[in-house]
Amino acid sequence: MSTALKAKRAPGQVTVPPLGLAAALMLWGMQNRLWPYAAAMAIVLELARLSPWRWHLSDKDYEHIADVSGIGFVVVVIYVFDTYSFQGVYIILQWLPFILFLVALAQRFGTRKDIRYSALFLSVRRAERKGTIEDAGSIDFDLPYMVVCMVSATVGESGGAWLFAGLVGALAYVLWYNRPRNFRIVVWIGVLAFAVGVGYLNQIGMLKARRAIEPVVMNFFRDRIMSYRNPFRSYTAMGEIGRLKQSDRIVLRVEDLDGGGVPTLLHEATYRSFSKNVWLAGNTAFQEQISDLEGTAWDIEPVPIEGSRAVRISRSLIRGRGMLPLPRGTFRIEDLPVEELHKHQLGALRVNRGPGLIRYTARFAPGRSFEHPPGPADMLVPTDVGPLMSRITADLGLHGARPEEVLKKLQQFFLTRFQYSVVLRRSGPVATPLHDFLLNTRSGHCEYFASATVLLLRSLGIPARYATGYSVQEYSPLENSYIVRRRHAHSWTLAYINGGWIDFDTTPPVWGALEADAASWWEGAYDLLSWLGFKFSRWRWSSDEDEPATNLLWLIVPLLVVLLWRLVRTQRVSERLRGERRHLDRRVQPGADSDLYPLLRVLEERGIARQPGEPLGRWLKRLARRDDTDGIDEIVAEILPVHYRYRFDPHGIGAEEREALKRCVRYWLARYPQ
């Protein structure tokens, strides 16, 4: 016999009306643009109201289902925080209906009508096992799940007014279904309208407050927590001694999109003033850039330029933030799905709130630069090195030479008289590390070369800046693209010549080869791993940053498989038990055609379901205690004994008694309208 479909509603308990969950799920789906999933979930959950099919789940099974959801939650939390940082809170909220779906499903399709607290909470489970709690009770999971769906709906982006209307509608439906019957409907509507009004005003106020406070708080933290290249300040290793630590880690991948070759230098940040081995950007600020409608293309300069080139650069972002390495002359960036892009006055670009991996296309005009023209700060030479610079420029005979001449001679000077070295030395007591470099050791790494060049140019009256970024020099046949390692980080000089900034790199070109020699022996294996990791990241971030949920669903698959396997196994056990019984069941049980059954079905639909282990007599007595079902006592007294005799007495009943049974049942069926 089928178990009853409706459960009796206890006073004071709020139950979710039919289609209530579906409405909440659809609201969530529409708001978060996940409506295909939401529709499927809603249909599956609401099917439970139509179908009598139920899964026989033990307490243990409920615990396993809740555990799987819990593990899923943990996986999601780790994954989301790993990739989105604190931004992830919203994403977790957004995905909660997915995570809790199994539990809701288990309640709807399980034989129990609720979920025990011990299944949901490990602490309660432990306490019950220990015996400190006899029975912690259970909860109707529909309502919490509906609330979760509605909360998750609020995270979504689309239409605030629609969301508010949807929430109000769904809540009003639940409240209407559970409304206290002893008040007039007008009163109920009035109270609801009042609550809606207050809620609406409150929401407007909250929104305004948020808009006012959020930027302030965000800026406060942004300026204090920096995990990427500091665009305001660059500490050099000049003056230190020992071997520079170099890492083989691959930080960038550069693909040539138009066959014109990749630029040799990718610029990340520019600095102006030099003081005690530190380069500073000076008192300059970032400006927010505006993207196009889709949010992935950014115009840095409003000039579409003929003969422009394009490269695609891939890099990972830590906590969604980082500087963008770009070729000089970049005027447009495409495929950059970040929420914020800031441009520094000196040309550095910083992204915020992006995915874990970005793969953007930089369009640049070779030979052009869009940085601000030089100011007085680009001409300053610190007093402690000023005389030194003048001496060297005088020795080289550069005073009065044309700027192009100067550049050529300086390049020659550093190439022939200096050595590149990552081993930092100090020859003796000198005024500054730059003195040591220029006069004594004549060897150093790129920071020495770049700093010295900047200051030499300035002392000659040519505006110059100190630029940092990466040098692109290694082609990987494995990846079929250029790769940039951390040790390829480079610094060079920007010189303002003929009304434009040009890259001027005085570091001897052997530096790349020297550093490659110092590479660790396992670099090859590392590169392969890195490449696989990159491929995985690309796959993970590939589909579209709008819907990372689809990627995550793949992670849930193994969990589902485990759960399904467990369910099938328990099912098979009960199947086996049933199989044993079947040889008995196959013979039609005597009395299986008793006329009482239709009457029982009618009674069952009136409210109280018979538990599987509850004999008819006891169940009918339970029914009789309800006030809306009269006459049960008579059924127990008159019909049940005959039915029992028909069913359980091997001698059975006679034709007359059978006829009487039929008549009585017909009488009662007529009394209980269906």
Partner 1 sequence: MSVVKPSIGKQSPQAIFAAIAANIERVIRGQTGAVRRLLAAFASGGHVLLEDVPGTGKTTLAKALAVSIDAAFQRIQFTPDLLPADILGVSIYNQKDQAFEFHPGPVFTNILLADEINRASPRTQSALLEAMAEGQVSLDRVRRPLNENFFVIATQNPIEFQGTYPLPEAQMDRFALRFSLGYVPAEEEVEILSDQANAHPLQSIGPCVALDDIDFLKQSARKVRISEELKRYIVDLIGATRSAEGIRIGASPRASLAFMKCAQALALFDGRDFVIPEDIQEIAVSVVAHRVVMEPQARFAGLSAERVVEDALKSVPVPV
CB of 656 to partner 1, least distance (A): 15
Nearer to partner 1, 613 or 654 (CB): 613
Of the candidates 548, 543, 542, 538, the one whose C-alpha atom is nearest the C-alpha of residue 32 is 548
DSSP string spanning 107-164?
HHHBSSSSEEHHHH-HHHHHHHHHTSSS---EE-THHHHHHHHHHHHHHS-S-HHHHH
Residue 35 Cβ, how far from partner 1 at the closest point, in Å?
A: 40
Pair of tokens at residue 323: 């500087």
Q: Please say which residue, 16 or 600, places its beta carbon nearer to partner 1.
A: 600
CB of 591 to partner 1, least distance (A): 9
* Strands 443-444, 419-420: pairing kind: parallel
510: helix, strand or coil: coil
Instruction: Name which of 49 and 581 has its Cβ closer to partner 1.
Output: 581
- Smallest gap from residue 653 Cβ to partner 1 (A): 11
Return the number of the residue (90 or 644) whose C-beta is nearest partner 1: 644
- Lay out the site mask for partner 1 across 543-582 (x = CB under 8 A, - = otherwise): --------------------------------------x-
647 binds partner 1 (CB under 8 A): yes
Is-contact 488 474, C-beta < 8 A?
A: yes
- The phi and psi torsions of 491 (rounded to 5 degrees) equal -135, 145
- C-alpha–C-alpha distance, residues 535 and 241, integer Å: 39
Q: Whose Cβ is closer to partner 1: residue 199's or residue 590's?
A: 590
Give 125 or 445: the residue with its C-beta nearer to partner 1: 125
Asked if residue 151 binds partner 1 (CB under 8 A), the reply is no
Tokens representing 312? 């695609």
540 belongs to the binding site for partner 1 (CB under 8 A): no
Q: Which residue, 461 or 615, is less far from partner 1 as judged by CB?
A: 615
Shortest Å, Cβ 599 to partner 1: 12
Residue from 146, 143, 186, 180 nearest 166 by CA: 146
Of the candidates 584, 637, 655, 670, which one interacts with partner 1 according to CB under 8 A? 584
* Nearest approach, Cβ of residue 589 and partner 1 (Å): 5
Q: Exposed, middle or buried, 121 (CB in 10 Å: 0-12/13-18/19+)?
A: middle
Least separation in angstroms between CB 581 and partner 1: 7
> Which residues ranging from 56 to 95 are in contact with partner 1 (CB under 8 A)?
60
Q: How far is the CB of 104 from partner 1 (least distance, A)?
A: 24
H/E element holding 493?
strand 489-497
Quick check: 184 binds partner 1 (CB under 8 A)? no
Residue 649 near partner 1 by CB under 8 A: yes
Q: Is 651 near partner 1 (CB under 8 A)?
A: yes
Is the Cβ–Cβ distance between 470 and 488 less than 8 Å?
Answer: yes
Selected from 602, 616, 624, 636, the binder of partner 1 by CB under 8 A is 616
Is 55 an interacting residue with respect to partner 1 (CB under 8 A)?
A: no
Residues 149 and 27 sit within 8 Å (Cβ to Cβ): yes
Min. distance of Cβ 122 from partner 1 in angstroms? 15
Q: Which residue in the set 81, 644, 667, 672 belongs to the binding site for partner 1 (CB under 8 A)? A: 644
Other beta carbons within 10 angstroms of residue 495's beta carbon come to 25
In this structure, what token pair is assigned to residue 176?
A: 């209407």
Q: Which residue's CB is nearer to partner 1, number 321 or number 610? A: 610
Closest CA to 298 of 361, 392, 381: 361
Q: Between residue 339 and residue 378, which ones bind partner 1 under the rule CB under 8 A?
A: none
Instruction: Assess contact for 360 and 312: CB atoms under 8 A.
Output: yes
CA 334 to chain centre: 22
In the complex with partner 1, the residue whose CB is nearer, 142 or 595, is 595
Distance between CA 445 and CA 548 in Å, rounded? Answer: 43
Provide, rounded to whole angstroms, the least separation between the CB of residue 44 and partner 1: 26
1 makes contact with partner 1 (CB under 8 A): yes
**Among the listed residues 328, 359, 488, 610, the single contact to partner 1 using CB under 8 A:** 610
Contacts to partner 1 from residues 112-141, by CB under 8 A: 129-131
CB 86, min distance to partner 1, A: 42
**Phi, psi (degrees; rounded to nearest 5) at 493:** -115, 145
Q: How far is Cα 236 from Cα 246, in angstroms, rounded to an integer?
A: 14
Residue written as tokens 């447009």? 332
Query: By CB under 8 A, is residue 626 in contact with partner 1?
Result: no
Position 600 contacts partner 1 (CB under 8 A) = yes
As measured in angstroms, the least distance from the Cβ of 564 to partner 1 is: 22
Q: Which is nearer to partner 1, 499 or 654 (CB)?
A: 654
Q: What own/partner pairs with CB < 8 Å and gap ≥ 24 does 556-560 have?
A: 556/72, 556/75, 556/98, 559/68, 559/71, 559/72, 559/75, 560/68
Q: Which is nearer to partner 1, 612 or 673 (CB)?
A: 612
Q: Is 612 in the site for partner 1 (CB under 8 A)?
A: yes
The tokens describing 552, both together, are 């995550």
Of 425 and 582, nearer to partner 1 (C-beta) is 582
Number of residues forming the site for partner 1 (CB under 8 A): 27
Closer CB to partner 1, 12 or 613, in the complex: 613
CA–CA distances in Å: residue 321 to residues 222, 311, 314: 10, 21, 14
Phi, psi for 494 (deg, rounded to 5): -105, 125
Q: Is 615 in the site for partner 1 (CB under 8 A)?
A: yes
Smaller CB separation from partner 1, 546 or 585? 585
Binding status of residue 654 toward partner 1 by CB under 8 A:
no
Secondary-structure breakdown of the chain: helix, strand, coil percentages, each rounded to the nearest 5:
50, 15, 35
Q: How far is the CB of 585 from partner 1 (least distance, A)?
A: 9
- Please identify, using beta-carbon distances, which residue of 1 and 561 lies nearer to partner 1: 1
Q: At what angle do helices 386-396 and 446-459 cross, to 10 degrees?
A: 80
Q: Which of residues 443-482 bind partner 1 (CB under 8 A)?
A: none
Q: Which of 197, 648, 662, 666 binds partner 1 (CB under 8 A)?
A: 648
- The answer to whether 241 touches 421, Cβ cutoff 8 Å, is no
Contacts with partner 1 by CB under 8 A lie at 1, 60, 129-131, 581, 584, 589-590, 600, 610-618, 641, 644-645, 647-651
